[in-house]
Structure 1
Amino acid sequence: MGEEEVNAPLAIVEVLDRDGQVRHAQRVPSWPLSIGRALDNELSLGDPYLAPHHCVIELDANGLGLRVLDSANGVQIAGARHLRAGEREALADGEHAVEISAGRTRLRLRRPGDALAPELPLAASATLLRRGAPVLAAGAGLALALAFETWLASDPDVFLRTLGTTALTTVMGAAVWIGLWALLSKLFTRQTHAGWHLRVFLFSSLAWMVVGALPGVIAFALSWPWVSDFGFIAGYAIGAAALYYHLLGVEPSRPRLMRGVAVTAFVLGTALTLWKQEQRNERLGAELYLSSFQPPALRLARPVPADRFAAELAALQPLLDKKAKEENATENGASDDE
């Protein structure tokens, strides 16, 4: 047995920052390894949410395990199992390092058998085309979609002027949006992640425009008005996904919490919109009819016979009469008050 093998540590316990960067690494020459605020621990930490002797990683007949000592806050392992005082969890050899949360401190236990993630390339070592191709493609797609939408909505005489205004507004809005998210990332992770936020903005904006146009086309082609009525839900889903990925650039170490925030925003936004439409229109759908007609070539549904169409219209007569009486009663009441 060589000198290197004798001096090789049994494990390394890393103290992580909130962004997952290693702040301190503690070599473990032998077991047990005690963790806490007291100075007689092998790993002494200044976290006020730790007990003087918080937990210990020990080796016994059952193998390596973590045991919680006299602690009120306990220990969380791998973001899932929460151990209370006196409980023990086996730390079986696996393919990945084990993350441990004790108090407000994040620890990572690395052992010789744990697999290492591949080396990340530096920005300079990757080709510019490979890194920038998806961003350029998304940017070009968004620009073409905005140009096409502007062309449909404007007169030919003012198309170029309207397009310039739209392009300038979009670029300025994107710069402010990405800059704010980059500032938040800088505050929390010490890195701007501007490229990440730019990609999220481009892909989510392009997806938003697609899901904004598709419901009307599908509703017209198949005579499914409900697709157009509730098409806004798909837009909210895109917005929630964009919010989740933006938040990952700000707080990458808590994906479950960020996912919960995005899902909550989606549910609340959808519920409030449905409630508002019910209060305003007495229906959950967003539109009473298609706001725009699509090219006839896209029509796939069979035409409705005239007698069937008239019969379906006749079924609306009682509802219309009821609405008319309610409006007349309201107007008469207002006149009496006057």
Structure 2
Amino acid sequence: MSAGTIGLLEVLDRDGHVRQALRITAWPVRVGRALDNDLVLDDAHIAAHHFSVDADDAGTFVQVSDTVNGVRTGHRHFNAGERLVVGSEALRLDVGDSHLCLRLAEHALAPELPLRTPRGVWHNLWPSLAAGGVVLAALLFGTWLDTDPDDFVRSLGGMLTGALAAGLAWCSAWALLSKIFTRRSHFLWHVRVLLIGFLGLQLAGAAAHLLGFALSWPWISDFAFVLSYAIAAAMLYFHVLGLEPRRRTRLQGIAVGMFFLATGLSLWFNHEGRDQFGDELYMNHLFPPALRLARAVDTANFVKGLAPLQQVLDEKAKKPDSGDGGSAAAADED
């Protein structure tokens, strides 16, 4: 700051970049929509004289004027007539739909942050290429397992075309939104989020099925969708982070809320449709017997353990299906 400057009041855009700055040389400083203010803000949610910044023997303070919306800073809200003391650090103020930053001459500057600029094209591309190679290998292996040898080449071509088109469309849509809101596309960021998220989903599913088989705990495989929803919520968080990088706490809350909402709906639909909360009627993922860690059960004990199931099946058999109710009633009348 130049000589005589005791503070700086900055108007920030949604990304935190300075759009306008008022050099303060004397107190008080008045802010509002009226033209007689020191800082005039064209914001319909700001009063004619919204607030002022002044100083006394106790220090510098923000005095909220006659306004309906008040002044927000962090998680606190100050109404008309209230006073906010400026501390030892720069103060962020949310006024209407505008964002301000008050910096005083005695405030210490934050250290300079290094630019996250890649040292070259390869340095920027190799993480995405490495993740893409692993994803491609996983897709090839899955296609090989699920396809007859005679149809492998045709299925492989369709899989590659569909995966590439879907991935490009998904990342391009997020990149367009990032360009609109942050003026940067962050295309490679969204590509990495998609690739790493896809690998996480594949590994989580395979690990859940393998553990369920090895330990003879079918509930692990049955509720594998919960972990998949958690990974999908994390993907959503990192995608949206490319649009709103300064609101991490709020985005984390949204992602957690989406996870619990999706999990709750899945549990409810499973219970309504199959009278169980799990996603599978039985464990259908078989692995080599050498990977099984649970103790083997002989045939006699296995059949004996199925005895309680007979009562459950009998009770279900006595319940008429909703679709057969009309036919059963008609048969009784005849």
TM-score with structure 2 setting the length: 0.90
Query: Contact (CA 8 Å) 1:13, 1:28: kept in 2 or not?
Result: yes
Q: Determine the structure 2 residue equivalent to 1:220.
A: 213
Q: Residues 180 and 329 from structure 1, CA distance in 2 versus in 1: closer, same or farther, beyond 3 angstroms? A: closer
How many residues align? The count is: 329
Task: Note the residue ranges of structure 2 that are not aligned, 5 or more in a row.
Answer: none
- Structure 1 CA distance for aligned equivalents of residues 10 and 325 of structure 2: 77
Q: Determine the structure 1 residue equivalent to 2:136.
A: 143
Q: Determine the structure 2 residue equivalent to 1:194.
A: 187
- Structure 1 CA distance for aligned equivalents of residues 6 and 75 of structure 2: 25
1:266 to 255, 259, 269: 259
Alignment of 1:88-237 (within 5 A): 88-94=83-89, 97-111=90-104, 112-122=107-117, 126-237=119-230
Query: Contact (CA 8 Å) 1:147, 1:163: kept in 2 or not?
Result: yes
Which runs of structure 1 show a deviation greater than 4 angstroms over 4 or more consecutive aligned residues? Answer: 327-333
| One-letter amino acid of the counterpart of residue 40, structure 1 | D
1:62 to 58, 61, 66: 58
| One-letter amino acid of the counterpart of residue 42, structure 1 | D
2:319 match: secondary structure = helix
- Structure 1 CA distance for aligned equivalents of residues 244 and 177 of structure 2: 9
Alignment of 1:51 with 2:51, yes or no, is no
2:78 to 83, 88, 91: 83
Q: 1:36-72: per-residue Cα shift (whole Å, max 9, x none)? A: 1122222111111111111122222222222212111
Percent pairwise identity: 43
1:307 Cα deviation from its structure 2 partner: 4.2
Task: Note the residue ranges of structure 1 that are not aligned, 5 or more in a row.
Answer: none
1:270 Cα deviation from its structure 2 partner: 1.3
Q: Determine the structure 1 residue equivalent to 2:26.
A: 30
TM-score with structure 1 setting the length: 0.89
- Structure 2 CA distance for aligned equivalents of residues 49 and 26 of structure 1: 20
1:327 Cα deviation from its structure 2 partner: 4.6
Q: 1:78-137: per-residue Cα shift (whole Å, max 9, x none)? A: x3111111222222113xx432100100112234513144142545xx233332232122
Q: Residues 334 and 151 from structure 1, CA distance in 2 versus in 1: closer, same or farther, beyond 3 angstroms? A: same
Alignment of 1:218-297 (within 5 A): 218-297=211-290
- Structure 2 CA distance for aligned equivalents of residues 143 and 325 of structure 1: 50
1:230 Cα deviation from its structure 2 partner: 0.9
| One-letter amino acid of the counterpart of residue 96, structure 2 | G
2:317 to 305, 321, 324: 324
Query: Contact (CA 8 Å) 1:93, 1:114: kept in 2 or not?
Result: no
1:268 Cα deviation from its structure 2 partner: 1.9
